[in-house]
Amino acid sequence: MNNVLEKQQYYTEKYRPQYHFSPEKNWMNDPNGMVFYEGEYHLFYQYHPHGTTWGPMHWGHAVSKDLVYWEHLPIGLAPDEHGMIFSGSAVVDWNDSSGLFEGKSGLVAIFTHADTYPETNRARQRQSIAYSKDHGRTWIKYAGNPVLQEEHITDFRDPKVFWHRETNRWVMVVASGQTIRMYTSINLISWEFASEFGESEGSHQGVWECPDLFELPVDKDPNQKKWVLFVSIGDNPNLQEGSRTQYFTGDFDGRTFLNDNSPETVLWIDHGRDNYAGVSWSDVPYEDGRRIYIGWMSNWRYANVTPTKEWRSAMTLPRVVELQSTEEGNRLVQKPIQEVQRLRTNHVSIQNKVIKPGTNLLNNMKSNTFEILAEFEITSETEFGFKVCKGENEETIIGYEVENQSVFVSRNHSGEGIFHQAFAGKHESKLVPENNKITLHIFVDQSSVEVFGNQGRVVITDLIFPSEENKAMELYVKEGDVTLHSLEFYSLKSTWR
């Protein structure tokens, strides 16, 4: 009987996400070591197993067959004589280049060991490896760790490794102060410095962390490819945004990255506050062809004090990234992975309605775990959109301002917010209508909102902490009117029960 009860109550705590990944208990930050191997997607994550705030870092571990339903596994890597286990990546060593797998294939994790230089307080961050011969269930730390150190660099962390076919080498991108250093290797064990990128490029508002570098076709054309470099930027107390992630597009020859844009160009992957340290899955099968990433759905500004009790933090939905050519150059677009569609239930569909002030088409609907796809045609200079997780004194607004061509999420009155003065706010981005239309693809999951505007050209990811009972929704227009071409609403099932 207890078992049944426990099952029913599993993942039902206040604010607990129902279809996003969160640890069963305790603190989580960056996603780590994401790799697909023999039918399983692995997700490791920065984990403090003994508390709900940041502490001695381990790699937590979960696996999934579809990136939707996750199975929690025991801790993958724990601190040792070289220190804590900071962020990093994992790859399949298909041809046993490392010599660790007796000629077979296996998994190699490449991560940062973090401690301090002997008899000082100066941080020491060095790159190490571990390997697994049993599909990531157990890990052996390499006896010769660390495999890469640079004594003159203090912030030196978060190695992301991939195989570069053209040069027949492994490439490591690793954050180094406010640049990205690149190294190459033939065996994942000895690393040779290749180049350094970024000294005067992009945003330098904080320490650089968690890089990722991968190639994508432009406009889905396999003959036209470009490289994308993700760089997360740590919290700068002088700015309101907290921690966030920028990206560059350019060329990469196996050793050196060349930025396509002018050095002062800054491109953000997300215009909300809660998408950090995102990196992509390694070894997704060639036939699948997707580049899939996931981010940590929080912000260092307030991550340690968000109002959850049993656990702290969730990941974003896994997202597919693509490059699209625009007048300004190639730009990243993001879409939720299509596998999430299997959670859809309770479909409501509305077509061709002129929305006027003072009415609410969604009057009868209640949910805080759902998805909406909507297409609007702009017919007057107004503001329109959705109010979600709505109660007497609470609402989160996902809106569009026609005059400024701006899409926004306002969590000014979204619920609990006093835990940090930087939490409340309205987060916006330019979204230019196409043929006078805009689309909004929205995911709400108890304590988060993800908005994909115009097929993922703009994304806003924000945490919210509304009261449990506030599940009403409204489709609003401020003045004038707007035409709703189509609206599809789905409740989404829990993946945890």
Please give the positions annotated as active site. Answer: 30
* Smallest distance from ligand FRU to CB 422, Å: 17
> Toward ligand FRU, which CB reaches closer, 123 or 373?
123
One-letter amino acid for residue 183 of the chain: Y
> Toward ligand FRU, which CB reaches closer, 111 or 452?
111
Please state whether beta strands 40-48 and 58-64 pair in parallel, antiparallel, or not at all (unpaired): antiparallel
149/153 Cα distance (integer angstroms) = 9
Binding residues (CB under 6 A) for ligand FRU: these are 29-30, 46, 57, 86-87, 112, 157-158, 209-210, 277
* Smallest distance from ligand FRU to CB 195, Å: 21
489/365 Cα distance (integer angstroms) = 10
> Toward ligand FRU, which CB reaches closer, 210 or 458?
210
Q: CA 351, 356, 362: angle at the middle one, nearest 5?
A: 55
* Smallest distance from ligand FRU to CB 300, Å: 7
* Smallest distance from ligand FRU to CB 239, Å: 17
Q: If DSSP states are collapsed to H, E and C, what string results for 427-443? A: EEEECCCECCEEEEEEE
> Toward ligand FRU, which CB reaches closer, 277 or 317?
277
* Smallest distance from ligand FRU to CB 487, Å: 37
* Smallest distance from ligand FRU to CB 138, Å: 23
* Smallest distance from ligand FRU to CB 49, Å: 13
> Toward ligand FRU, which CB reaches closer, 207 or 458?
207
- CA distances to 84, 106, 222, 274, 420 from 215, in Å: 31, 24, 11, 25, 38
Q: If DSSP states are collapsed to H, E and C, what string results for the chain? A: CHHHHHHHHCCCCCCCCCCCCCCCCEEEEEEEEEEEECCEEEEEEEEECCCCCCCCCEEEEEEECCCCCEEEEEEEECCECCEEEEEEEEEEECCCCCCCCCCCCEEEEEEEEEEECCCCCCEEEEEEEEEECCCCCCCEECCCCCCECCCCCCCEEEEEEEEECCCCEEEEEEEECCEEEEEEECCCCCCEEEEEECCCCCCCCCCEEEEEEEEEEECCEEEEEEEEEEEEECCCCCCCCCCEEEEEEEEECCCCEEECCCCCCCEECCCCCCCEEEEECECCCCCCCCCEEEEECCCCCCHHHCCCCCEECCECCCEEEEEEEECCEEEEEEEECHHHHHHEEEEEEEEEEEECCCCCCCCCCECCEEEEEEEEEECCCCEEEEEEEECCCCEEEEEEECCCCEEEEEEEECCCCCCCCCCCCEEEEECCCECCEEEEEEEEECCEEEEEECCCCEEEEEECCCCCCCCEEEEEECCCCEEEEEEEEEEECCCCC
* Smallest distance from ligand FRU to CB 174, Å: 10
* Smallest distance from ligand FRU to CB 477, Å: 40
> Toward ligand FRU, which CB reaches closer, 209 or 322?
209
CA dihedral 295, 296, 301, 307 (to 10 degrees): 140
> Toward ligand FRU, which CB reaches closer, 157 or 273?
157
> Toward ligand FRU, which CB reaches closer, 159 or 466?
159
* Smallest distance from ligand FRU to CB 335, Å: 24
Residue whose C-alpha is closest to residue 233's, from 244, 222, 241, 223: 244
